[in-house]
Structure 1
Amino acid sequence: MLRGLTTFNVFADDVTAAAAWYTEFFGTEPYFARPLEGPPSYVEFRIGDYQAEFGIVDSRFSPHGKSEKPAGALTYWAVDDVQATFDRLLELGATVHDKIVERGPGFVTASVIDPFGNILGIMFNQHYLDILATKGA
């Protein structure tokens, strides 16, 4: 049984540039990088209510090779304001993958393609907020 998201990885040819872009978006620096000296092949952030791990992996380690098209699973990250987050991502250089869509009462989604070819979904999800409230977070 799936118990929760542990690590979400995206791929980039230039991990340093991707880390800088996501640092700007997240407003926090990665807490982990490998190797310790020289350009990193992996960096990791901890983000959100549950400090989920968001990793950036050098594309050469992709198990299925590098894609020339936007790639990755469409995972939605909970946000409080889809429009503001969507606008911020576009301002930082992401492009529209799927415009903002209301999927039903309390559920609004959108997705972008980051400058490194990864799909990033964002979502206002009332269910997420309801569960969060039961955890005392």
Structure 2
Amino acid sequence: MQGPSDAGGAIIHRHVDDVAQTLDTLRPMGAEEHEEQKDRGSGFVTASVVDPLGNVPGIMHNPHYLEIQRTNLPGS
């Protein structure tokens, strides 16, 4: 198995409601920290992990993204 220092490539971030809770869910599934949770300001929080296959998925919470999603819904 590859470790966090062996991982590479592009990181695609998926939006989650709670970054810390998602990290707590991923760790028992074999994920290892790649980039610790980081507050980037204005409620924008990111982190990334290395999964057992060596992929590096990112997770984020971004209030601005949520606002854009709400305004682009049909009928809004």
Unaligned runs of 5+ in 1: 1-68
Find the aligned partners of 2:9 and 2:63 in 1 and give their Cα distance.
Answer: 25
Aligned pairs, how many?
69
Matches within 5 A, 1:87-106: 87-106=24-43
Unaligned runs of 5+ in 2: 1-5
Shift, 1:126, TM fit = 1.1
Q: Which has the higher contact order (CA 8 A, sep 6+)?
A: 2
2:46 to 104, 109, 118: 109
Relative to the length of structure 1, the TM-score reads: 0.48
Q: Which has the larger radius of gyration?
A: 1
Identify, as 1 or 2, the structure richer in helix: 2
RMSD: 1.2
Find the aligned partners of 1:98 and 1:71 in 2 and give their Cα distance.
Answer: 12
Find the aligned partners of 1:135 and 1:105 in 2 and give their Cα distance.
Answer: 21
Find the aligned partners of 1:131 and 1:70 in 2 and give their Cα distance.
Answer: 32
